[in-house]
Amino acid sequence: MAGIVLKYKIPQFQEYTIHVQKYNNVTNSSELRSKLAELPFAYIDSKTVISVEQLSSAIYKAILETEYNRMRTRTIHSECILSLSPSSNIGDALNRFGIKEGTTDIIVIKIIEDSNEEPYDGNASVDGDLVPVSDDEFSTSADKEIIKTVCIPCDKL
Amino acid sequence: MSAEIIASIADVLTDNIPLTPISQGAEAVVFTSPVHPYLPKNRTDGDDKLYILKYRPEKKYRHPVIDKTLTKHRTLGESRLLAKLRLIDGLNVPKLIGCDPYHGCIWLEFLGEDLPNGHGFSNLKNFLWMNASDPYSDLVRDTMINVGKQIGLMHWNDYCHGDLTTSNIVLVRAGEDWQPYLIDFGLGSISTLVEDKGVDLYVLERAIISTHSSFANRYNLWVLEGFKSVFESHGKAGLGKYKDLIRRFEEVRLRGRKRSMIG
């Protein structure tokens, strides 16, 4: 099993290195929220993520769109959050999957393009307890009722 | 198979994703790969897992711009259909793993296995051939009824397959039994028309007649039995729909799949 931080590359996109971290008992989520635009990370409310597969599929889609098509949002990190959402509405996606005022469990994604960025030192400015990234950890903090409302397209409800 | 097609996709996916071609149709090539397109590698699930890649190569006889839009449109269409079908309770379709509409790639979970004694891959066709020595066993009967149920469930939800043949039904082992999975929705659609559903049933009936002619009558009755049971479970509304469908199915059977004489 992976260490406490999940670091990997997608076979098809070797030039990107992906780091995933998870923090519990986060105390500075409102501060993070106010600085979201400046911080080069994707902060995700871990209530909305149930597995590594769900998260990594969104990252894959984000990089795929960036490489082959065009970004719909301003950064690759916000693109990850958009890719989690079944709809293409950016504001909606950020509201649903992004961190809220009072979110305590946060998943952080950091994507580095190897050619033109410094390696990542692991500091995501989050005050909280770093926990291992795993399906088990994700499923304990996930909220299935919330996932049902955010992940199932509206016409299915 | 053309080495050029394999080279064109290997170029996109890089050497990190080894591909083995397993089948080619008019529009797409199907590969297996031991590498998942995006899951982090060091996970504990079995390493012998395979994944399916359905790749629609560029068609040189089309204008490049039209080719790109068509490929994108069809790849997306098939993926969306598959994702919606997956949400239907009780319906068995392969899980969609990923989709790259810009290169015509669809990643799916691998289903089925090789049948014992060299009977080939576990699709319905090979399964029926394997059981030809005891064609009316309970196992065959239950399997055919389950096939009918899958089709019934799909049609009840207003989805059509478009190319239902015995090789597009894959059997997945579930203990002693086999669970049918519908694959290849390349011609699939959402449709409320009885015509499309009647054609689905007719195409499957013809496929069974042509590949398993000696036992086809009984097989087709079993499929229809399973098909009917789904509609019956929805009471009066279900039965009404079922009757409309069967009436059209019989019409299609008399005239053939094509309604007009053109094309």
Residue B201 sits in a domain whose CATH number is 1.10.510.10
d(CA B227, CA B230): 6
Q: B31 pairs with which residues across the strands?
A: B21, B53
pLDDT, position B200: 95
B34 vs A: CB within 8 A: no
Q: Are B14 and A152 an interchain contact pair (Cβ–Cβ within 8 Å)?
A: no
**CB-CB: which of A14, A57, A68 is closest to B14?**
A14
- Helix, strand or coil for residue B221? helix
Could you report the predicted ipTM of this complex, rounded to two decimals?
0.89
* Percent of chain A clearing pLDDT 90 (strictly above): 65
What φ, ψ does residue A53 adopt, rounded to 5°? -60, -45
Q: Containing domain of residue B26, as a range?
A: 3-109
Per CB-CB distance under 8 Å, the chain A contacts of B102 are: 64, 68-69
| Pair (B103, B128) in one structural domain | no
| Pair (B166, B148) in one structural domain | yes
Residue finishing a domain among B80, B109, B138: B109
B44 vs A: CB within 8 A: yes
Q: pLDDT of A78-111, one tens digit each?
A: 999 999 999 889 999 999 999 988 899 999 999 9
pLDDT, position B262: 64
| Pair (B146, B102) in one structural domain | no
- Could you please state the CATH topology (level 3) that the domain comprising A6-156 is classified under: PF0523-like (3.30.2380)
Residue finishing a domain among B44, B74, B109: B109
Task: Tell me the average pLDDT of chain A.
Answer: 89
| Pair (B90, B189) in one structural domain | no
Per CB-CB distance under 8 Å, the chain B contacts of A2 are: 40, 42-43
| Pair (B136, B246) in one structural domain | yes
pLDDT, position B82: 97
* Percent of chain A clearing pLDDT 70 (strictly above): 95
**Axis-axis angle for helices A90-97, A76-84 (nearest 10):** 80
Q: Are A152 and B35 an interchain contact pair (Cβ–Cβ within 8 Å)?
A: no
Per CB-CB distance under 8 Å, the chain B contacts of A4 are: none
Within-domain flag for B202? yes
pLDDT band of A131, cuts 50, 70, 90: very high
Nearest C-alpha of chain B: how many angstroms from A2? 6
**CB-CB: which of A2, A60, A68 is closest to B102?**
A68
d(CA B147, CA B141): 10
**Axis-axis angle for helices B216-232, B235-255 (nearest 10):** 150
Within-domain flag for B262? no
| Pair (B28, B87) in one structural domain | yes
> How many folded domains does chain B comprise?
2
pLDDT, position A157: 44
Q: A6 pairs with which residues across the strands?
A: A20
pLDDT band of A2, cuts 50, 70, 90: very low
| Pair (B81, B129) in one structural domain | no
**CB-CB: which of A2, A11, A60 is closest to B42?**
A2
Q: Answer yes or no: are the C-beta atoms of B121 and B114 closer than 8 Å.
A: yes
| Pair (B37, B160) in one structural domain | no
Higher pLDDT, A109 or A152: A109
d(CA B195, CA B258): 10
Residue finishing a domain among B109, B125, B146: B109
Say which residues have a Cβ less than 8 Å from residue A130's Cβ, sequence separation at least 6: A4, A5, A21, A22, A23
| Pair (B53, B77) in one structural domain | yes
Interface size between A and B, measured as CB pairs under 8 A: 51
pLDDT, position A149: 85
Within-domain flag for B261? no
Closest CA to B212 of B253, B169, B161: B169
For residue B246, give the amino acid letter. I
Provide the annotated binding site of B for ATP.
22-30, 54
Helix (H) or strand (E) holding B65: helix B64-86
CATH of the domain at B76: 3.30.200.20
Q: Answer yes or no: are the C-beta atoms of B207 and B166 closer than 8 Å.
A: yes
Higher pLDDT, B258 or A63: A63
Report the residue of chain B nearest A55, measured CA to CA.
Answer: B39
| Pair (B45, B153) in one structural domain | no
Q: Which position among B100, B158, B163, B196 bears the catalytic label?
A: B163
CB atoms within 10 A of CB B64: 10
Is residue A145 classed exposed, middle or buried when 0-12, 13-18 and 19+ CB atoms within 10 A define those classes? Answer: exposed
Q: Is B163 a catalytic residue?
A: yes
- For testing contact with chain B, the best of A19, A52, A57, A109 (most B CBs within 10 A): A57
| Pair (B66, B134) in one structural domain | no
Positions of chain B with pLDDT lower than 70, given as ranges: 1, 42-46, 260-263
pLDDT, position A150: 82
Within-domain flag for B260? no
- For testing contact with chain A, the best of B38, B79, B81 (most A CBs within 10 A): B38
CA angle B217, B219, B225 (to 5 degrees): 105
| Pair (B68, B153) in one structural domain | no
B203 vs A: CB within 8 A: no
Within-domain flag for B224? yes
d(CA A54, CA A52): 5
